Amino acid sequence: MKDVLVVTTEYTVIIINFIALVVIAFGTIEAVVGGVRLLLGSRAGHERREVWLRYARWLVAGLSFQLAADILDSAIATSWESVGRLGAIAVIRTFLNYFLERDLAEVREREAGVKG
């Protein structure tokens, strides 16, 4: 039974990491297309900010998926070294996620202040 759980968890981690890859790749492609469009057309500051805000949202989503995969991966880790490595990765991703979310919240507050 333990072997089945380990194999199932390993495949689930691979699937979740693939989802994170797709989310981040899609967001990156969207940001590149938006950036090129801005270079060729409008240079308004709010449009540039919107491109990067949308990209930040994609990155937050991708990091959340990767963190979920790390949590599952740590459940089947067989050594303290791998647990420590996964913990360090999880901490780094959590900090990245926190700062991206904080930046998004600050921008939303500024935009609400401008509109209000």
What integer pLDDT is reported at residue 104 of this predicted model? 80
Structure tokens at 107: 């921008």
Q: Quick one: pLDDT band at residue 27, thresholds 50, 70, 90?
A: very high
Q: What percent of the chain has pLDDT over 70?
A: 96
Distance CA 80, CA 74 (A): 10
- pLDDT for 43 beyond 70: no
The average confidence (pLDDT) of the chain is: 86
Closest alpha carbon to 31 in 59, 10, 4 = 59
47-74 burial, b if ≥16 CB within 10 A, otherwise e?
A: eeeebeeebbebbbbbbbbbbbbbebbb
**Average pLDDT of the residues in 94-100:** 84
- Report pLDDT digits (tens) over 49-85: 888 889 988 998 998 899 899 888 888 877 888 778 8
What integer pLDDT is reported at residue 116 of this predicted model? 63
Q: What percent of the chain has pLDDT over 90?
A: 32
What integer pLDDT is reported at residue 85 of this predicted model? 80
- pLDDT for 8 beyond 90: yes
Q: In a 3-state reduction of DSSP, which class is residue 44?
A: coil
Whole-model pTM: value is 0.77
